[in-house]
Amino acid sequence: MQAAANAIEARGLTKRFDGRTVVDGVSLEVPRGAIFGFLGPNGSGKTTTIRMLCGLLRPDAGGGFCLGHDIIAASDAIKREVGYMTQRFSLYEDLTIRENLDFMGRVYALADRRRAVHAALERLGLAERADELAGTLSGGWKQRLALAACLLHKPKLLLLDEPTAGVDPQARRDFWDEIHALAAEGVTVLVSTHYMDEAERCHLLAYIAYGKLLARGTGDDLIEASRLSTWEVSGAADAALAARLRALPGVDMVAPFGTALHVSGCDAAQLDAAIAPFRGRPELDWRRAAPGLEDVFILLMQRARGTLQ
């Protein structure tokens, strides 16, 4: 076992299915106690990468360490120290909350199973619903139950695969409050998400598309590295205007934000020259805007598709 400051260190992870490369040479480091966000479109390789990192899937090339254990040679040791929450609810709907947790405690062979179940019920606010069938719960309560099951054996690393898909905003906020509390206790969290507000809650981010790691860093790092210059235009900012702006040289991206448009380019001078004829129109209100993570990830996606050089 290798002692390390990082919970995860991976180099050149590659995985192929039926001759198609779904993860292509991914390398990353995740510090202990960090909340590390994985972003990218569906089919980008996020879940496959997560499964390789926790020893559930053997890479075809590359390797690394998870919690100091070799991800290839010591996959069983990794599984004992990791909690893995899948996107789809995977517990038993015909068992109660308590019965599900008790069953998972048996799976983990916990020495003091009853105390662990009680602690999980209390921590996730499930005690008053402990005797309700899992199948009758809303999405948010199922999510709490799934997280409670992941925490029973006190893992050092949580792997969360789009854990808030299909739950309401309040349940998402409560979930993230708990994730930050766990990180403060030293638990490392690797989470994949499509939500930009959730990405902003992560300490570090990585963006994956078509199996390749395109960017990594804090949210501020990624925004700065993009070198995006952005204007916001409101007023008569309709689809016709968006189409005209997209066709202009120097405009790399036009995205609707409510009743306004964000117009962005990687070359500030070219962008300013492109929109200059439109800025004098009285029905349009132009103002400088700070690019956000969503702007950056749209840009990265366009580059990955080869539609932007």
- The CATH number linked to 61 is 3.40.50.300
Would 267 be classed as within a structural domain?
Answer: yes
CB-based contact 155:187 (threshold 8 Å): yes
Same domain, yes or no: 117 and 206:
yes
Same domain, yes or no: 118 and 234:
no
Same domain, yes or no: 168 and 42:
yes
* Angle ∠(233,238,241) on CA atoms, nearest 5: 75
**Last residue within a domain, chosen from 175, 207, 222:** 222
Would 73 be classed as within a structural domain?
Answer: yes
Same domain, yes or no: 240 and 209:
no
Would 131 be classed as within a structural domain?
Answer: yes
pLDDT in tens, 132-191: 999 999 988 999 999 999 999 999 999 998 888 778 888 889 999 999 999 999 999 999
Tell me the whole-structure pTM to 2 decimals. 0.87
CB-based contact 78:67 (threshold 8 Å): yes
Would 52 be classed as within a structural domain?
Answer: yes
Number of domains within the chain = 2
Helix runs in the chain, H state only: 46-53, 75-80, 97-107, 113-123, 139-151, 169-184, 196-199, 219-226, 239-246, 268-279, 293-305
CA nearest neighbour of 226 among 252, 245, 249 = 252
Q: How many whole angstroms separate alpha carbon 262 and alpha carbon 47?
A: 31
User: Residue 1 has what pLDDT?
Assistant: 47
CB-based contact 19:45 (threshold 8 Å): no
Look up the domain containing 248 and give its range.
229-290
Same domain, yes or no: 29 and 156:
yes
Q: Output phi, psi for 94, to 5 deg.
A: -95, 10
Would 309 be classed as within a structural domain?
Answer: no
Q: How many whole angstroms separate alpha carbon 185 and alpha carbon 156?
A: 10
- Scan for tokens 């029973």, then name that residue: 152
Same domain, yes or no: 58 and 146:
yes
Would 196 be classed as within a structural domain?
Answer: yes
Same domain, yes or no: 157 and 261:
no
Edge-to-edge order in the sheet of strand 204-209: 82-85, 157-161, 188-192, 35-39, 204-209, 212-217
CATH number of domain containing 235: 3.30.70.330
Would 296 be classed as within a structural domain?
Answer: no
CA nearest neighbour of 193 among 41, 30, 22, 7 = 41
Same domain, yes or no: 250 and 132:
no
Same domain, yes or no: 190 and 280:
no
Residue 49 corresponds to which amino acid? T
Q: How many whole angstroms separate alpha carbon 163 and alpha carbon 143?
A: 7
**What is the Cα gyration radius of the chain?**
22
User: Residue 309 has what pLDDT?
Assistant: 45
Alpha-carbon torsion (112, 54, 147, 94), positive or negative: negative
Q: Which residues of the chain have pLDDT under 70?
A: 1-4, 306-309
Same domain, yes or no: 52 and 127:
yes
Same domain, yes or no: 154 and 25:
yes
**Last residue within a domain, chosen from 222, 248, 277:** 222
Cβ-based neighbours of 205, under 8 Å, separated by 6 or more: 36, 37, 38, 39, 199, 215, 216, 217, 218, 219, 222, 293
Helix runs in 30-74, H state only: 46-53
Same domain, yes or no: 41 and 114:
yes
CA nearest neighbour of 190 among 208, 174, 173, 169 = 208
Would 305 be classed as within a structural domain?
Answer: no
CA nearest neighbour of 9 among 47, 62, 45 = 62
**Last residue within a domain, chosen from 222, 248, 270:** 222
* Angle ∠(215,299,272) on CA atoms, nearest 5: 125
